[in-house]
Every structure is written in structure tokens, then in C-alpha cells.
């Protein structure tokens, strides 16, 4: 099995994409500049106790002002692609109406800068953030948000579609529904039961389908969406734990892809208490099933599921979910289980067969205890082992016949990690948030060596 970055890089095909990924709110900063409107995260984080260190994304890695420097680092690493998200609040400050030219202009410059450096821009239109004004009608609880999102997508595609050839509409719809509308951990902080929150999922997927139409009108592009997948295992062999695992697996791994690839929702969801499907109208699933060109996959770890015992007060979820499965851990307390990536890829192939489009790994990485040494180095051998292990599993999956078109490390930069603030470091580039100085971690140098080997082996140098 290939282990060195040079040997590993040489195993990938010429048209493979090696990149990094970020999300706008987590890295951009400049929240009150150039006409950007208030976002749901701006409003959410004004509530005490929402973030463990009391921080917010007002500066973060300041990517909005330091993007040229950051693109220079990408060039130094030899990246072939950069996946970024477009902040809806910058482009349409209230979620509708006229475009804010200054806000959209930032992405104009970013895209041009990437192309000048030979790096493919890959735009994600929605990554956990939206204009706060849309909460007046309930955010994604409201069907109207789907059409507003399609309008936003149309504006962005009209401006960038002549240069951006690769798009993702929405990042991880079920993750958004669960953490933002069920568990209340992320903005807007709603706490609905899983069954009651199903309209949120339907409207997200409807927004995806409508946005796909809008993008195709302005760009001959690859279009898809991303899903956060995990192998799901029952906590015991008890029938109730096995049943709970089937239900959670349907939600986490199959809900998005069944709707988009098959035009239906998983039958396993019939077991979901108080399931509210009232948002589904005739013709909606035909819109949601609009053909996609690739499927984004986020993978970090497996999950263990336990059924909840019946209680007088119904729980938000009918199960408990824990991250388990291995000894080595990240600073998130998550195990490092590369084999799980192979499991979810195999499950996709087995479930969808020839309906499965090419897959791209849109997020894979880890948080580690990174520290800047006195001599200005950041050594992160644990992250190197993480990336190497997962890329080795990826090559095995590709040899088995699963088509994977790219791999994006999460994340490019240290950033604002939602409810965990700045207490976790995910980047392969270290950010000193006091000075904004960037430092390549040893994992970034490792990734550069892998990419150099890939370019050499495929005749690109």
C-alpha cells in the first residue's frame, strides 16, 4: 500500500482534482463591510452562550482582505482547485431584490485571481449561512426561501457562470437541518422534532433543484450538492437499537441522495415519529431530481446509534448518536477511521448503481492540537496520518470501480468553528489570529509533495 506522499500522489489520474475548501462565514471576516447584510449567524451569536469562547466571525482569518495572499499560498501548494462558498448576505443583503455590486465583486475578483493562477474555482452557493431577513418567514421552514435561493443562484451564475464551471448548490442539507433546526446548536437555533423539521429538508432540496435550473441557464457547468455521510452502527444487537440505526442511517446517508438521484424519500422514514410531509407538493420531487453531474461527499468518522426509551416528553430525536469507532483521536474527540470512507463510498455504489454520478470528496480533514513553535514551525504529524490514511482508502475505492473525481482537504485555513469558536484548528495553514500571519503546517508541505508527485506522474510538469 502506498504510504509516502510521492508514492501516493502517483496513483491518481491526470484529471483528478486536488484542492482545499473553506466556508464564507468561517474565514472571510469583514462582516460589516461593502454593504453586506446581517446574516443568521450575526444575529445568533449576539445571544450569550452560543459559542464556547464568546467569539464570532467578525475577523476570523480575514480572507476577505487577504485573499491575494491566500491564493499565493494555494499556488505554492500546487493546488488544482479551490472550493469556496458565496455569502448570500454579501450578494443580496436582505435575501431578495437588487444585487449588492460590492459584495458580488469580491467573488468576481476571487474567481479571476484563481483562474490567473491556474486554479479551478468551485463555488458552493449555500454553506450554513443566509440573510437574517429571511427569518421573518421562518428561514428554511418557509417554501418561499427555496425560490429566494434560486433567485440568488441566478444572480451569482449570471455574473460568474462564464468562468466558474463547477458548482455545488447546498452543503450538507441534513447536517444543516439537524444542527440548525432540530438540535439548535447552529444558527438560527431552532429546536423542532426531527419529524416536524422535515419541511426544512424538503425546502432545502427544492431550493437545490431550482438553483440547478438557474445555474444551467447561465453556465455549461458541473453541478451537484454535498452530503455528510457516516457509517452508522447500532450500540447493541437489541432490536430497538438496530431499528434506530436504520432510521438514522436513512436520515444521514440516504435522505438527500434518494431524493436527488431517485426522486423519492427513503421508505425507512415511515418509522419517524410525527413525520410532517405536508410541504411536499405535486411536481416537487421532479424538480429535486434535476440531473446532477457530481455528488459531493463529506466524511469524518463513523457513528454509533442508541434508541431512546419512551418518555413522557418526546425527545427532539428518537435516538442518541455518538462518535465512536477507533483509538486515535482528533481534538474534537473524534476517532480516526479511514476505512469508514471506503464504507460510505461502497454503500453509495451499492444503493444507486448506475444512477450514482461521479463523487468528489468535498470535505475530509481533522482538528489537531497545532502550535506555532519558537522557530516558526507547525508540526502536525497526526493530520498527515489522517490525510494519508484516507487517501489510501480512496485509491482502493477507485480501483474497485467507484469513480471519484477529486479530494478537498477540510480545511485550507484555521477558522471560526461555529459553536466552538477558535478553540479548534482545522487548517493545513496555521493562522495567528492576533497578527493574521499564515504559516504552512507540515501537513501542507506533505500535501504539496503529494500533488507534485501526481503532476509529475501524469505529465503536468
What does the DSSP assignment read for 394-445?
A: HHHHHHTT--EEEEEEE-SB----GGGTTS----SEEE-TTT--EEEBHHHH
Beta bridge partners of 83: 21, 122
pLDDT of residue 313: 59
| 222-224-226 Cα angle (round to 5) | 140
Does 410 belong to an annotated binding site? yes
* Alpha carbons 226 and 102: distance in angstroms, whole number: 28
Integer Cα distance of 329 and 183 in angstroms: 24
Phi/psi at 148 (5° precision): -60, -40
363 is written with which cell numbers? 470535505
d(CA 94, CA 136): 11
pTM of the model: 0.97
Residue 252 confidence class, pLDDT cut points 50, 70, 90: very high
Other CB atoms within 10 Å distance of the CB of residue 459: 7
CATH number where 39 lies? 3.20.20.80
Residue with cell 459531493: 296
Number of domains in the chain: 1
Is residue 375 over pLDDT 70? yes
Residue-wise pLDDT for 157-190, tens only, equals 999 999 999 999 999 999 999 999 999 999 999 9
Instruction: Give the mean model confidence (pLDDT) for residues 276-296.
Output: 98
| Dist CA 451 CA 445 (whole Å) | 10
Within a domain: residue 450? Answer: no
Tell me whether residue 307 is in a domain: yes
Whether 226 is in a domain gets the answer yes
What integer is the mean pLDDT of 224-243? 97
Give the residue-averaged pLDDT of 49-65. 97
Q: What is the pLDDT of residue 1?
A: 44
Which grid cell sits at 33?
A: 463591510
* 92 annotated as ligand-binding: no
The pLDDT of residue 310 is 76
CA dist 273 → 32, 193, 332, 374 (Å): 42, 9, 31, 56
The per-type count for the chain, helices as H runs and strands as E runs, is: 15, 13
pLDDT value at residue 392? 98
Does 329 reside within a domain?
yes
- pLDDT for 97 equals 93
* CA distances to 38, 40, 46, 138, 168 from 135, in Å: 11, 8, 15, 5, 23
Residue 116 makes CB contacts below 8 A (sequence gap 6+) with: none
pLDDT on residue 460:
87
Residue 2 pLDDT more than 70?
no
Q: What is the 3-state secondary structure (H, E, C) of 48-77?
A: CCCCCCCCCCCCCCCHHHHHHHHHHHHHHH
Nearest to 173 by CA among 135, 136, 211: 211
Give a yes or no: residue 75 inside a domain.
yes
In a domain, 256, yes or no: yes
b/e per residue 443-453 (b: at least 16 CB within 10 A) = bbbbbbbbbbb
Burial class (CB in 10 A: 0-12, 13-18, 19+), 458: middle
Average pLDDT, stretch 50-60?
A: 97
Residue corresponding to grid cell 434508541? 307
Pick the residue with more confidence: 4 or 121? Answer: 121
Residue 460 domain-assigned?
A: no
Mean pLDDT of the 287-310 span: 96
Task: Say whether 417 counts as a known binding-site residue.
Answer: yes
Total number of residues shown for the chain = 461
329 is in an annotated binding site: no
Query: Based on C-alpha coordinates, what's the Rg of the chain?
Result: 21
Integer Cα distance of 361 and 345 in angstroms: 10
Q: Which residue shows C-alpha cell 441522495?
A: 257
Q: What is the pLDDT of residue 201?
A: 99
* Residues of the chain above pLDDT 70, percent: 99
Q: Summarize pLDDT for 407-453 with one digit per residue, the tens.
A: 999 999 999 999 999 999 999 999 999 999 999 999 999 999 999 99
Confidence (pLDDT) at 329: 87
Q: Is residue 264 part of a domain?
A: yes
User: Catalytic residue numbers?
Assistant: 172, 363
Q: Express each pLDDT in 204-213 by its tens digit.
A: 999 999 999 9
- Weakest mean pLDDT among 298-307, 323-332, 363-372: 323-332
40: Cα separation from own chain's centroid: 18
What distance in Å separates the CA atoms of residue 270 and residue 284, rounded to the nearest whole number?
Answer: 19
Q: What is the pLDDT of residue 312?
A: 54
Compute the mean pLDDT over every residue in the chain, rounded to the nearest whole number.
96
Tell me: pLDDT of 357 over 50: yes
The reply to whether 120 sits in an annotated binding site is no
Q: Which domain holds residue 171?
A: 15-440
Q: Is the pLDDT of residue 84 over 50?
A: yes
Amino acid at each position: 500500500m502506498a504510504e509516502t506522499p510521492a508514492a501516493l500522489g502517483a496513483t491518481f489520474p491526470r484529471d483528478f482534482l486536488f484542492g482545499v475548501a473553506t466556508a464564507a462565514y468561517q474565514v472571510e471576516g469583514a462582516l460589516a463591510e461593502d454593504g453586506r447584510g446581517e446574516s443568521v449567524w450575526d444575529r445568533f451569536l449576539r445571544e450569550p452562550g452560543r459559542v464556547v469562547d464568546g467569539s464570532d466571525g467578525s475577523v476570523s482569518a480575514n480572507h476577505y482582505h487577504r485573499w491575494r495572499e491566500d491564493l499565493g499560498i494555494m499556488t505554492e501548494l500546487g493546488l488544482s482547485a479551490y472550493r469556496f462558498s458565496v455569502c448570500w448576505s454579501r450578494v443580496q443583503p436582505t435575501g431578495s431584490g437588487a444585487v449588492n455590486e460590492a459584495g458580488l465583486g469580491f467573488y468576481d475578483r476571487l474567481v479571476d485571481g484563481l483562474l490567473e493562477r491556474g486554479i479551478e474555482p468551485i463555488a458552493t452557493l449555500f454553506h450554513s449561512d443566509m440573510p437574517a431577513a429571511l427569518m421573518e418567514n421562518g428561514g428554511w421552514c418557509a417554501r418561499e426561501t427555496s425560490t429566494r435561493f434560486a433567485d440568488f443562484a441566478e444572480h451569482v451564475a449570471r455574473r460568474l457562470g462564464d468562468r466558474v464551471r463547477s458548482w455545488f448548490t447546498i452543503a450538507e442539507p441534513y447536517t444543516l437541518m439537524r444542527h440548525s433546526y432540530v438540535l439548535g446548536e447552529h444558527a438560527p437555533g431552532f429546536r423542532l422534532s426531527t419529524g416536524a423539521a422535515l419541511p426544512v429538508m424538503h425546502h432545502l432540496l427544492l431550493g437545490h433543484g431550482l438553483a440547478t435550473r438557474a445555474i444551467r441557464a447561465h453556465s455549461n457547468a458541473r453541478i451537484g450538492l454535498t452530503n455528510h455521510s457516516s457509517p452508522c452502527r447500532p450500540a447493541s444487537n437489541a432490536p430497538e437499537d438496530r431499528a434506530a440505526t436504520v432510521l438514522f442511517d436513512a436520515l444521514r446517508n440516504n435522505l438527500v441522495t434518494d431524493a436527488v438521484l431517485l426522486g423519492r424519500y427513503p421508505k425507512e422514514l415511515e418509522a419517524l415519529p410525527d413525520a410532517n410531509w405536508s410541504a411536499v407538493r405535486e411536481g416537487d420531487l421532479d424538480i429535486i431530481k434535476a440531473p446532477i453531474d457530481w455528488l459531493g461527499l463529506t466524511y469524518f468518522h463513523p457513528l454509533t446509534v442508541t434508541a431512546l426509551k419512551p418518555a413522557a416528553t418526546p425527545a427532539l430525536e428518537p435516538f442518541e448518536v455518538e462518535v465512536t469507532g477507533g483509538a486515535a483521536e482528533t481534538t474534537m474527540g473524534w476517532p480516526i477511521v479511514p476505512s469508514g470512507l471506503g464504507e460510505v463510498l461502497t454503500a453509495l455504489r451499492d444503493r444507486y448503481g448506475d444512477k450514482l454520478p461521479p463523487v468528489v470528496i468535498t470535505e475530509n480533514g481533522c482538528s489537531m492540537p497545532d502550535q506555532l513553535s519558537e522557530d516558526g514551525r507547525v508540526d502536525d504529524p497526526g493530520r498527515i496520518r489522517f490525510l494519508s490514511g484516507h487517501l489510501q482508502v480512496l485509491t482502493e475505492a477507485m480501483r474497485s470501480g467507484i469513480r471519484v473525481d477529486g479530494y478537498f482537504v477540510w480545511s485550507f485555513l484555521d477558522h471560526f468553528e461555529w459553536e466552538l469558536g477558535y478553540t479548534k484548528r482545522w487548517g493545513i495553514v496555521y493562522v495567528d489570529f492576533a497578527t493574521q500571519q499564515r504559516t504552512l503546517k507540515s501537513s501542507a508541505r506533505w500535501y504539496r509533495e503529494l500533488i507534485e508527485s501526481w503532476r509529475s506522474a501524469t505529465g503536468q510538469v
